Amino acid sequence: YLGFYTYLIETITAPDAIIRYLCKQYSIHRIPIGNDHTYKNSGKVPNDITYFYTANHRFTVRVSAYSGAKSSSTIEIRPAKLLANSLDVDQLTNYNTQSVPYG
C-alpha cells in the first residue's frame, strides 16, 4: 500500500477532445495521486511510476539507464492564484451598497 487513490484524469472535467489531448500530450491517465502516506514512502514507489502527486507535492523520478540509480525531484505545490475562484468581498460590498438610479 503506497497511498495512491486516483489518477489525475479522474480529477478533471472537460470535453472528450480536451481529455484525449491531455492524455496524449501529458499522459494524465498514468499520473497517480497519493496522500501523506505516499509522501512519506516516496522512495518505495516502483520505478515505472516516474511522475506522481501527493497532497502538497509533485514528484518526478528518473532511473539511470546505466547504473539503475534512482533520483527524484520534489516540488511543493503552492495554493492556486491564477485561474482560482476568488471573491473580492470589499468590491462586492461596495457594489451592493451603491444606489442604482432607475429610469
10: left (phi over 0), alpha (psi -120 to 50) or beta: alpha
Q: In the chain, pLDDT over 90 holds for what percent of residues?
A: 59
Strand order in the sheet with 32-33: 6-7, 32-33, 51-53, 57-63, 70-76
Residue 53: closest CA among 8, 11, 10: 8
**pTM of this prediction exceeds 0.75:** no
* Three-class DSSP category at 38: helix
Residues 77 and 60: their CA atoms lie apart, in Å, by: 13
What are residue 51's phi and psi, to 5 degrees? Answer: -150, 125
26-73 tens-digit pLDDT? 999 999 999 999 999 998 999 889 999 999 999 999 888 899 888 889
